[in-house]
Structure 1
Amino acid sequence: MATKKQIILPIAVLVGGIALAAGFSSMKQPPEEKPEQDTRPLVSTDAVNLDAISLDVKSYGVVKAKDHTQLVAQVSGQVVYVSEQFVQGGFVSQGDILARIDPNDYEAALIEAQAGLAQASADLEIERAQAHVAKAEWDRIKDDSNQIIPSNLYLRKPQLAEKLARYRAAQAAEKRAVRNLERTYIKAPYDAIIAARDISLGSVVNPGSQFGALSSTSIAEIRLPVADKELQYLENGGIGATATLTAEYAGKPTTWQAKIVRSEGVIDQKSRMSYLVAQVNTPYQSKQPLRFGSYINANITGQTLNDAIVVPHHLVKDNKIAVLNDDLTLSFKTLNIVREQNGMVIASAGLNQGQQLITSALEFPTEGMQVKLNDLASPKSATQLALKEE
């Protein structure tokens, strides 16, 4: 049988626990009411600025002379004169004498040819006089009733033809002697820079011996490779377009203006590129000469696209781009993409002037989604942003 103590003790513990729980409950504070949170995504925008955009095409190339000539001896002999300008890198003008082959033998040959021509001329005149005498004699002795025709030999026609042939041969010999004497002079065929010199004073040359090489300084040419799909952005396939050439001169970036004059009309078998040829007149006459052998970058002026916009490629998905409406909702606009280049997209239609282009990356954007504007974002047009990133 339970004692009194065993009955009272559990009751006392139970009552104490209830009292302690009531005390803690009275000390509990009610939860604070939290303000309602705005869960709309935060976005930044740029104003759409439609403008005229030139669809330029970039290329590159090496500057070369339009005309390059190998100087070759046409007569034999010893080189007795070499011009001071006839050195590699020297500039010469058209008609300048670069070197001279010993002319003595050719002067003697000319004198001999002139003497032969004079002798042939005298023989021809004598034969003409004899032919005239023969004809006059026949006219004097012939009878009106005599129908005999004199022979050509009697009238000295074969002899006259022989003398005439010898005279013409002598003329040709003199002309050949004059030409060979002129060929002892090695002259510049045009304004040029000396690319190479292969002879020295005292050298003995024969027909075909190399004297050197010249590069014309009148016109420089650059072959510019262009991808076939890029030709659509150039008027008339690029013919007549202006190309801005950029290279370093004396360690500083320098530009020159060139003109596309022709297309080579074939596709290179290795690079699969088409080649346009640009020309620069008098490349060595400016303060910053466009030197042959220079590697240049070229920007070919393309078609002009009016009311167009340039936007970063990552903002466009499936030809659509997100814009912010006046009621702070997101909507998608379909772009008419003309070109994609260097991470940028050029579009000719799909956006209106002044529309707010969303430039923030959204995880799951949907049509009509509510967003809020980041007021701290600096207002820039999408075109300015694109040009800066480019």
Structure 2
Amino acid sequence: MPIAILVVGIAGMLGIKATAQDSEEKKPVDTRPNISYQAIQPTDHTVIISGNGEIKPKESTALSAQVSGEVESLHPNFVAGGLVKRGDVLFTIEKDAYEAAVWQAESELSRAQAALIEEQARANVAKREAKNLPKVNVTDLYLRKPQLLSAQAAVKSAQARLKLAQRDLNDTTVRAPYDALIIMRNIGVGQFVNRGIEVARLNNIETAELVFPVAGFDAVFLPDNIVGANATLHARNIDKTTRKGSITRDLGIVDSNTRMSQLVVEINDPYGLISDAEPLKFGTFVDVQFKGITIENVYKLPQTLVNNRRVWVVDNENKLRIKNVTVLREEGKYFYIDSGLEPNDKVVMTLPEYPLDGMEVKITNDKNEVVATPTASDSQSE
């Protein structure tokens, strides 16, 4: 009995195994790789051009004394790093000698004017007397015309001396020519300064500039009239300050080393003195972006889907096809393609490990999703 039971069990196992093998051999196996795709549409794209550079003052002034004398007073902010407003008195020079010069010039002018009045009266008398004389005896000298001209010239000379004396007196008070950051000061109270000696250096903080290069592949996308275009600046600092500016000019040269052209962006009130804007200090390195021209009928694809200027698509028979494309522009993580693709092409998003042209594939996505049309703001944020 044990032997019989063993034989029956072995026979049953062999039968079950044979039946399973027959079932597996009959069931077909789908070896097609799985892929997903997105249907694409052409769109218009506004090019975003980027650059970077250092914030610098638009204007820097070496301040000099216009008159000689002893320094009497200094503005409390007239120190390195101080900020002063346009018209603030930076320092004053002793003015006694210059006030005396003005008074002296005024007295000389008064004497010259008195002499002119006297000479004018004499000329009028001579003119009345000349009416009773023969014309041959009436000369310019008799009418005192030379004396009158000399008196008039003396008045003008005295006026000029007074004007110069008044200018020197005014120059004893030195004011800020603009809203300024004090970079350096080398005078003190009680120090004697000479005319023309540099006493300080100021940077204009009413306006700052950023000079940045534009590469050749970006230059072809510049608008015809770039002056006045708005630009966005992102500072590479802890606060990641963002400011607005405008492009004011092209320097008109191509750098001999980099072969790049140079554009200038102007930023108003960089230190935020007259607005609530975040300060953007001189020397800060920033990234700048602005809009270029709009390119039409292009396809926006992630760079990961483009390999050696080729894109994989799936045809209506669910077979892989490869297309050669022309990349018009690269921005961020995307390529913008202007030829090689057609509307509604199904771009493969997930390729098999070893793709082949003509390979049959199995579609895993149920929806024929269309690549979103990018807007100018989307592109800028990218």
Normalised TM-score (structure 1): 0.80
Whole-Å Cα distance in 1 between the matches of residues 211 and 239 of structure 2? 23
Whole-Å Cα distance in 2 between the matches of residues 247 and 147 of structure 1? 87
Cα 1:78–1:147 change in 2 (3 A) is closer
Indicate yes or no: 2:169 matched with 1:181: yes
2:245 matched residue in structure 1: 258
Indicate yes or no: 2:56 matched with 1:56: no
SS of residue in 2 equivalent to 1:79? strand
SS of residue in 2 equivalent to 1:233? coil
Cα 1:361–1:151 change in 2 (3 A) is farther
Indicate yes or no: 2:268 matched with 1:281: yes
Indicate yes or no: 2:288 matched with 1:298: yes
Cα 1:322–1:372 change in 2 (3 A) is same
Whole-Å Cα distance in 2 between the matches of residues 383 and 45 of structure 1? 16
Pick the aligned partner of 2:182 from 185, 189, 194.
Answer: 194
Q: Pairwise CA RMSD of aligned residues? A: 3.1
1:272 matched residue in structure 2: 259
Amino acid at match of 2:106: Q
The offset of 1:305, in angstroms, is 3.5
Pick the aligned partner of 2:155 from 141, 160, 167.
Answer: 167
Amino acid at match of 1:182: N
Q: CA-to-partner distance for each residue in 1:288-334, whole Å, 9 max, x for gaps? A: 11222211011222233455333244543564421112321122345
Whole-Å Cα distance in 1 between the matches of residues 267 and 169 of structure 2? 37
Q: Is the 8 Å Cα contact of residues 71 and 91 (structure 2) preserved in structure 1?
A: yes
SS of residue in 2 equivalent to 1:238? coil
Whole-Å Cα distance in 2 between the matches of residues 215 and 109 of structure 1? 34
Whole-Å Cα distance in 2 between the matches of residues 243 and 299 of structure 1? 6
Q: CA-to-partner distance for each residue in 1:117-137, whole Å, 9 max, x for gaps? A: 001111111111112222222
Matches of residues 1-390 of structure 1 in structure 2 within 5 Å? 32=21, 34=25, 36-48=28-40, 50-140=42-132, 142=133, 146-236=134-224, 238-248=226-236, 251-283=238-270, 284=272, 285-313=275-303, 315-316=305-306, 319-341=309-331, 344-349=334-339, 350-353=341-344, 355-360=346-351, 363=354, 365-366=356-357, 368-374=358-364, 381=371
Whole-Å Cα distance in 1 between the matches of residues 286 and 52 of structure 2? 6
Whole-Å Cα distance in 1 between the matches of residues 182 and 107 of structure 2? 40
Q: CA-to-partner distance for each residue in 1:18-69, whole Å, 9 max, x for gaps? A: xxxxxxxxx9x98956455444344343443655433111100111222222
SS of residue in 2 equivalent to 1:259? strand
The offset of 1:108, in angstroms, is 0.6
Segments of 5+ residues of structure 1 without an aligned counterpart are: 1-26
Q: Is the 8 Å Cα contact of residues 307 and 348 (structure 1) preserved in structure 2?
A: yes
Whole-Å Cα distance in 2 between the matches of residues 133 and 292 of structure 1? 72
The offset of 1:115, in angstroms, is 0.5
Number of matched pairs: 354
The offset of 1:187, in angstroms, is 0.6
**Percent sequence identity over aligned pairs:** 34
Whole-Å Cα distance in 1 between the matches of residues 304 and 207 of structure 2? 44
Cα 1:382–1:316 change in 2 (3 A) is farther
Q: Is the 8 Å Cα contact of residues 321 and 334 (structure 1) preserved in structure 2?
A: yes
SS of residue in 2 equivalent to 1:163? helix
Whole-Å Cα distance in 2 between the matches of residues 57 and 205 of structure 1? 51
1:9 matched residue in structure 2: none
Cα 1:213–1:119 change in 2 (3 A) is same
Cα 1:383–1:159 change in 2 (3 A) is closer
Worse-matched range after superposition: 275-284 or 42-51: 42-51
Q: Is the 8 Å Cα contact of residues 73 and 206 (structure 1) preserved in structure 2?
A: yes
Q: Is the 8 Å Cα contact of residues 65 and 193 (structure 2) preserved in structure 1?
A: yes
Q: CA-to-partner distance for each residue in 1:90-142, whole Å, 9 max, x for gaps? A: 222221111111111111110110010001111111111112222222323x1
Whole-Å Cα distance in 2 between the matches of residues 223 and 49 of structure 1? 38
Cα 1:240–1:168 change in 2 (3 A) is closer
SS of residue in 2 equivalent to 1:135? helix
Cα 1:111–1:152 change in 2 (3 A) is same
Q: Is the 8 Å Cα contact of residues 69 and 192 (structure 2) preserved in structure 1?
A: yes
SS of residue in 2 equivalent to 1:86? coil
SS of residue in 2 equivalent to 1:134? helix
Whole-Å Cα distance in 2 between the matches of residues 375 and 156 of structure 1? 112
The offset of 1:151, in angstroms, is 2.9
SS of residue in 2 equivalent to 1:171? helix
Whole-Å Cα distance in 1 between the matches of residues 226 and 151 of structure 2? 64
Point out the structure with max Rg over C-alpha. Answer: 1
Whole-Å Cα distance in 2 between the matches of residues 336 and 99 of structure 1? 66
Q: Is the 8 Å Cα contact of residues 69 and 213 (structure 1) preserved in structure 2?
A: yes
